[in-house]
Structure 1
Amino acid sequence: MKTWWKEAVGYQIYPRTFYDANGDGIGDLKGITFKLDYLKALGVDLLWIGPFFKSPMDDNGYDVSDYYAVDPIFGTLDDARELIQEAHQRGLRIILDLVLNHTSDEHPWFIEARRNQDSEEHSYYIWKKGRINAQGQRIPPTNWSSFFSDSAWCYNAATDEYYMKIFSEKMPDLNWAEPKLRERMMEVARFWLDEGVDGFRVDAVAHLAKDLRFEDSTMPLDAQGNAPDWSKFSNLPALFDYLDELKDQVLRHYDIVTVGEVGGGASPDMALNYADAQTGAFNMVFTFDHCWANGISAGTVSFPEQVKTDVIALKKTFAAWYEGLHERAWLPVYWLNHDHPRVVSQYGDPVHYHKPSAKMLCNTLYLMYGTPFMYNGEEIGMTNVDYTELSDFQDVWVKNLYEGVKDQYPLAVLMDHFRRTSRDNARTPMQWSAAPNAGFSMRTPVSKVNGNYRAINVEAQDQDPDSILNHYRAVLKLRKSAEYKPVFIEGEFALLDEDHPDVFAYRRVNSGKTIFVVSNFTGKDTEYTIPARHVRCLLSSYPDSHPQPPKLILRPFESVVLDVLE
């Protein structure tokens, strides 16, 4: 079995705000093609490109209305083919988001399904008759909540039925219990694989199977009268039968990589159902367990918010996934994606220690066990937004939360919370230069640019040997070097002092070589002792580090990578 993806470094691109080649203010596929040489020089070799299929964009392209077409805002199918070809010529592979759980309500299948109860397309979706309550009112088939806090059902007058939708009402869930539907979705996967893509990140895959008994949940109801009981449509046994069929009929016939999105709350044992090297349908799965280890949450507001990285919890989360999977499955590791805050704002200090804290986070993650994925802009230390007006935010979650809590908190408190947690933080235009609009576009961008682009941008950092960008390049070069690749790719990973509250330290060992990565996650000087006396410092988050082991005096956010010589 080919495992090229174990040695790869992934890079997620949010196409809407990566680079605008045609000057309309929206990023596009030609913009990605234009920047391939930059990505090659960075040292990544696996590009995960967010959805660019035809879509009404109710959910940033995850609501697909045509799986075989590129949305006009991103370009054409020929642009996609050119991107794939140009990437391959540079030794770069491409994976796409494969959205299997739902379509847009504007997909031709659903347009026919909601119109004609006797059509084949009707069987592609999940339909149930409503109920009549004691007051004589029509109510949904079950009390299940969607992930958006409303009912998981939406009424369709044309057929006098409800269709299931665990996300937006414009995103009806597909009926994976229907064999004809499964074949149609496998045709979609084959189409893109035959076009040359190198695999998929499979969106919301945990939800393909539903509890077909369609019984009310006994869980307490929320304020909207719905039960947020995700067990009714998450990780059910039939899901793995569907995935086995997908693997047998499609995936195993191509030299590709597949990454399932199973989200937060999934255990390592559960992940093995997806990604066991012998039996799983996928090569690895993304989990979100490590993304909010600092006392704040995207879903709730507290006053005052105490933001402090829980270094112990962060370490133990990474270690638990390694210990649970490493002998049976491969791991992806990452700091953020398009739904999370910028990591230098989340776990670093972009105000006082921007450069060392960004470099420290790079050292800590990219030398771990597993396939790392960075998010576009991370490599220059892009930060959370500096928005001053509520109208600057585009994230629908911000607008919904604001309406729900605006009478409980002052606007200034809510703005602080949104600047820390909003999905807009990861979706501002990529900061290419100090030119207007951060060099992203000649026109006003679709999302407001972060005001610090004049200081934080690719062009400025490219020429600075001590920049965050050049540090990322150096770390990836070290990771892939002939001398150190065996220890970083296949070497043992072991935490050191997992209960130390300030230092994230670990050891990588393989073939007689031992590497220590020691990172201070605080803004104060910290002492730390390693079990070695003779080392060579390979990398540091400061340009003038000269560690003298065994006792290290780590400056604020200092991180050192040490090769043990004894």
Structure 2
Amino acid sequence: MAVNGTPKRSGWWKDAIIYQIWPKSFHSARGSPTGDIPGIIAKLDYIKSLGVNTIWVSPHYKSPMIDEGYDVADYEDVNPDFGTVADAEQLIKEVHQRGMRIIFDLVINHTSDQHKWFQESRSSKTNPKRDWYIWRPAKYDSNGNRQPPNNWASNFSQSAWTWDPTTEEYFLHLFAIEQPDINWTNAECRKALLESSMEFWLKRGVNGFRVDTVNMYSKPMDFPDAPITVPGSDIQPASSLYCNGPEMHNYLREMGDILEKYDAMTVGELPCTSDPKQVLEYVGFARNELSMVFQFDTVDLGKTPGDVFAFKPWTVSDFANITNKWQTFTNGNDGWTTSFIENHDQGRAPSRFGSDKPEHHDASSKMLALLTVLSSGTPFVYMGQELGMTNVPLSWDYKEYLDLNTINYIQRLKDQGKSDDEIVKKYMPAINLHARDNSRTPVQWTDGPNAGFTKEGVKPWMRVNDNYKQINAAQQLEDKDSILSFWKQAIALRKEHPALFTYGKFTSLLDYSGKEDHKVFAFAKDAAGDKASSATNKQAIVLLNFSDQEQDVSKIAKGKVALSSHKDTNASAPLKAYEGRVLLV
């Protein structure tokens, strides 16, 4: 795997700018209710024009789509709604022909219950694949009532265990019932899993993977009860027990050995891991485990642990301190970080962190673009983010929400006796703010029928956001002052100054540790990396106004304006409402 003791990995992903596609909602070239792989191919020139150089395609595998493709029935096949293996191979070829790279999603904590391996596993206790999943006998209370093996809650608001009457045992699923967890302690299973899910696609030219739930594979196999943190509930959050288990790094090094053969990258989804020292164990270059990870502290602002739909207030200081933490944890070591504020599991950034009011929408979308693109590490852009797509209107009936997590949450409210009227008035504002459905509405390409997502007369799988006539790619492509144009400028600025924005040293310019009610997030980027000595500009200053009021920045502003979300501004002028400004020193 190494040549003369030197890893074969080039580290190309440090200069990557990655555009995420959730295929079901991206674009339909076939005129069907869902997006498809030919639709992605048709938009590759548009994607390349943004300045990104890598594409991440979320799950496109064969799946019953209980959890929108994160329930994989066959790693080596493609969901027929999206296309065929030949289509996927053509996509890889077309991406490479444009000088870009492509990564796929890797979902290997669990499979679908329709996967042939699980079908065999559940057929009998003596089946050779029985131990490829996690089965346990029931427990019984003092009255003789059957109970799950422990009190763990799944991530989808239900018990993490389901009784299977065929063999009269429970199987573990940390997510939906239809997503049984794989038993990673079984070496035969692990080998077959990595060959099917990774090598099959690496041999076809894929350049890496976004790795789903990357720290959940090593569980405590005695399955102790979780501590009681939700009084009165028979199921309890258990992430402290099943995340970052004792064998995780051994498993990831096995994966790293495979990836190294192809100079492939990984970005891991690393929830419930807030200690930078612990995260560094995953992303240190010499460890050959993960290239980088998604840390969720920023996008979890406003969410309540154990009840992600319950809103809690946050401040700009909270935002700044979290950003500072994850922009600096790789200082002086061989780790790498990421920059993102949207993905398929989050509400849209303007609605959550800026303002989606018409008078502030464009400015706040541009301001948040600067945060994403000009932070250190590898930036990730989610489809439609470059257009300033927003959350769905609060006026939508909750029946329009199609994500399993949202549906289960609303059902639990009903089971608790909450009326429809109470759900709408008391709970829907927070659900609307955080629901994953917000990022899964079809991309708004035009102001025509179905927003250009699919042909006229076809009902899209999910309702198009009502504001597609005001927010769409066709209009923004013609407008040099549009959000889309601004994203292109921000990405071009990043590429022009890699020593500042890709490799630069991050420093907060204001004291966010006290009680002062800051409205501005201000940080400097000092040139670093191999190109630092030859860099024309040794420092950049980024000023971000998170409010609808002007803010004085004269004490910290210096240099020349390189880019601003408002025209005709100067370096030390007050920041206008939701203005983002970049200064080069």
Alignment TM-score, normalising by the size of structure 2: 0.91
Structure 2: how far apart are the matches of 1:78 and 1:33?
13
Contact 2:309/2:434 (<8 A) preserved: no
What is the match of residue 375 of structure 1?
A: 382
Distance 1:429 1:532, change over 3 A: closer
Aligned pair 1:320/2:295, yes or no? no
Which 5+ residue runs of structure 2 have no aligned equivalent? 1-8
What is the match of residue 439 of structure 1?
A: 452
Deviation at 1:120, TM superposition (A): 2.1
Contact 1:294/1:310 (<8 A) preserved: no
The code of the aligned residue for 1:235 comes to: N
What is the match of residue 280 of structure 2?
A: 272
Q: 1:131-210 maps to which residues of 2 (within 5 A)?
A: 131-188=139-196, 189-210=198-219
Q: 1:164-563 maps to which residues of 2 (within 5 A)?
A: 164-188=172-196, 189-219=198-228, 223-248=232-257, 250-294=258-302, 299=307, 310-328=315-333, 329-351=335-357, 352-386=359-393, 387-405=395-413, 407=418, 409=422, 411-442=424-455, 443-481=458-496, 484-499=497-512, 501-510=518-527, 511=532, 513-531=538-556, 533=558, 535-547=559-571, 549=572, 552-563=573-584
Distance 1:217 1:556, change over 3 A: closer
SS in 2 for 1:206: coil
RMSD: 1.9
Structure 2: how far apart are the matches of 1:399 and 1:156?
23
Contact 2:56/2:102 (<8 A) preserved: yes
SS in 2 for 1:163: strand
Identity percentage of aligned residues = 38
The code of the aligned residue for 1:337 comes to: N
Structure 1: how far apart are the matches of 2:175 and 2:410?
19
Distance 1:232 1:295, change over 3 A: closer
Which 5+ residue runs of structure 1 have no aligned equivalent? none
Write the deviation string for residues 461-486 of structure 1: whole angstroms up to 9, x where unpaired.
001010000000011011112xx122
Write the deviation string for residues 190-238 of structure 1: whole angstroms up to 9, x where unpaired.
1110111110011011110110123334435654412322233110111
Structure 1: how far apart are the matches of 2:555 and 2:524?
10
Distance 1:214 1:376, change over 3 A: same
Distance 1:96 1:498, change over 3 A: farther
Deviation at 1:160, TM superposition (A): 2.1
What is the match of residue 4 of structure 2?
A: none
Write the deviation string for residues 327-367 of structure 1: whole angstroms up to 9, x where unpaired.
33100110111111100111111212111111111112211
Contact 2:362/2:483 (<8 A) preserved: yes
Write the deviation string for residues 368-415 of structure 1: whole angstroms up to 9, x where unpaired.
111000110000100110252222211223323223335273523433
Structure 2: how far apart are the matches of 1:463 and 1:214?
58
Contact 1:433/1:459 (<8 A) preserved: yes
Distance 1:288 1:221, change over 3 A: closer
Contact 2:67/2:404 (<8 A) preserved: no
SS in 2 for 1:258: strand
Structure 1: how far apart are the matches of 2:305 and 2:241?
24
SS in 1 for 2:390: coil
Q: Which moved more, 1:205-214 or 1:293-302?
A: 293-302
